[in-house]
Amino acid sequence: MTAPFGRRLADAVAARGPLCVGIDPHAPLLEKWGLPDGPEGLARFTATVVDALAGTVAVLKPQLAFYERHGSRGLAVLEDAVARARAAGALVLLDAKRGDIGSTMDAYADYLRPDHPLAVDAMTVSPYLGPGSLQPAVDTARMCGGGLFVLARTSNPDAGTFQHASVGERSVAQVVVDTVRGWNTPGWVIGDPLPDVAAVRDQASRFGPTTGSFGVVVGATLRDLDIDLEGLGGPVLAPGLGAQGGSAADLRRLFGSGTAVVPTVSRDVLAAGPDPAGLRAAARRWADELAG
């Protein structure tokens, strides 16, 4: 039985620090590296990033769309990269942002199964078909020791159009957070009253051996934290550092020291390639800044 993702994440952070590096091989970046925008260039780019970073960073986060755009050969590149990254000790978070219902969501969740050709440690999902739509993914994650990060309060400029909408006395974003808090509470199922914050407050207010396997995505570029994360019981994936304007100071301002935060950097590290030493140095600079 695989240890739960939350425990594996806590172990990885303890050993390597919390940095997550996104792998986003979009066409302009491939061109900047002097690579063709095709499966061959994609393979060289991905292998360079994985070989340079998988032995030192806690989490690598490949964006699935940039591999799908190259068809079956692109997915073959990703399949190989995921296996190599995990063998080197990095956790792999698949940035897929999937959201559907029933058997379709169940099929998306297969990425978390250890026998899947593209087996990953965790994946991002979208909750906007309703909390119950993600139950198949929750069930698979629990059975296979996988993790989920649910879009809650994202950093794109017009995110508030939907995420600030009201559901009774709460915003949509807060309902997402509260639902994920429920998933991190033993015995809670969708339809039950939401658990008291105290029920999970001590479970994982920061990284520890009992960190929950279900987290939320909250942008590091927010002006203010307009949701309540207390007692979430799981990690917060915080994209937006570097090129998007977020900083280590923003993480401390938004989340303080009591939240298990996985800060994500993509362009600021990948722009240091194709030299592997440059990639490693850029990741170290961010790791040092986050530790300061």
d(CA 235, CA 227): 15
CA dihedral 192, 105, 181, 229 (to 10 degrees): -140
- Annotated catalytic residue within 16, 97, 142, 280: 97
For 200, residues 6+ apart whose C-beta sits below 8 A from its C-beta are 181, 184, 185, 212, 231, 232, 233
Active site residue 32: no
Q: Write out the H or E segment, with its range, that includes residue 91.
A: strand 91-98
Residue 192's SS3 state is: strand
CA distance 146 to 190: 19
Closest to 7 in 3D by CA, of 205, 200, 146, 110: 146
Phi-psi category of residue 89: left, alpha or beta, with phi > 0 → left and psi -120 to 50 → alpha: left
- The structure tokens listed for 269 are 């590290």
Q: What DSSP element (H or E) covers 108? A: helix 102-108
Q: In which residue are the tokens 């033993």 written?
A: 186
Catalytically active residues are 97
